[in-house]
Structure 1
């Protein structure tokens, strides 16, 4: 019996020691800090400003986590910074992101630039701050109203009621007239139409360039001679340019007809090549005269009279018209071979030079 009572006493002592140890641990463990309440500090850059002068309002909040802190829309009948009376106007709003000012708390600052439009002692409107935005369940906190003295721009002895106008007009939104909107819309439509027309024009030119067959040498030469005539170079006393362009147009045409590099050959080389080409005999005399006269103008400073200059242009046109048949393909021979001419050379009207 005594042994059993001793066992009970030992077990009870152990239980008491365990409870005491638990109580000691709870007493010595650090307590969890309570959430710090949201604190708001409101300051102004000056308590006395002149009418129309900017005033900086700073609202600094301090708390545990301010990442969701915002300025929410005010409730009715309680004007704040987002529902200003005509006494104040907001010119600029800036917001500094929240940051840790120590190991526990955040700080977040909202800055407003305000302009007063009424003289006398007035109160800076309050800002409504809330954690979580408009839909937050926590009670919003208002910034403290601060008194500011706004000095008038008028002399101290004047009566504002007797003045024909106000010191500073209240800010008003100026709507754009409907005629201006209509004009902007019409101008935009014109720009769009012009852009579409430009795209169609250039696309059409590219399509035509791909589809249209290349111009023939005689057509190119005649068009260039017509441009020379239309530029009235003789009347402008540009004789050398007149002969150069006429000579170049004829040279390019001869090179295409007879398959020679007429633009790079000298006059002597070109005339020698044409002299050996039977097909060129029909216009050889005109070619020789035109090239010789053009060389005299370009290199010997010859200045022919206007009539002679115009005849040189006609000579170039005649060379093209009288030799353009050489560009036609030779007719197909269906019967027996044609008898060669007496000199034994078969004249071919193929437009190619026979060396």
Structure 2
């Protein structure tokens, strides 16, 4: 009897039914950043159901910080259509970063936009900031007198049958599709054959050797002495991201800075200098995207960090089974 009463209470309570417990994200443990100024606006302030609108956030912060969006995949009654980030102008203090979210709403009435979380890169390390949501009025696409006239939103109509007088176009389309599939299969077969031939002719060098050769080549070019500091940091960042991705098995080149650090923190990576890597990423992003200046000594220290990162994370540690076997098969001392 108590079980039936509990089920009835759960079914009748919209609060319990719509608020499932969700685990706190890992980023919630990071220190909270506080921008010096936040301006938020919605254009237009009143939209129609399903009509696109722009949610603009202007964050004022120190120039040595970088803000990046970390939107959740589920935005409730809202859908994200596109997003745009305008970085701050280089050399200005304080800096202003602008985010424009193009969204649409699918519920009538006064709605509250979801909170917008940001990953913040600072010289002290990664932090987090959450911008509070604001209210938006969503109206119906029907005129005000629609209900009095018996008009209402119509549901999606079921599929309707369409008479086809000739199947010629159908056969032509099937023929084109079959030819395209054959072409794709043939191309993939050719690609695999060519990759096998290349692998047989020249086996790739080990990862640490390729990475060290890339660092040596970058050091020889001496791009900072040519005034190409931005190109230097792009090249060095690409080398280190490629190494980390291949070393730990994920596509690091396609990750944002916050996504890269989050993936690495979730892996077993003994010896990985997280603090040094976070400082390098922050300095690299400031030079690449915020047009910050960097001295020759800073470039030299960043390149030295690349060698240090390689030395501390290579070779990969042996699994416990292999370590036990090596100890067991060691030479005996009489």
Using the size of structure 2 for normalisation, the TM-score is 0.36
| Rg larger for | 1
Higher relative contact order (CA 8 A, sep 6+): 2
Using the size of structure 1 for normalisation, the TM-score is 0.34
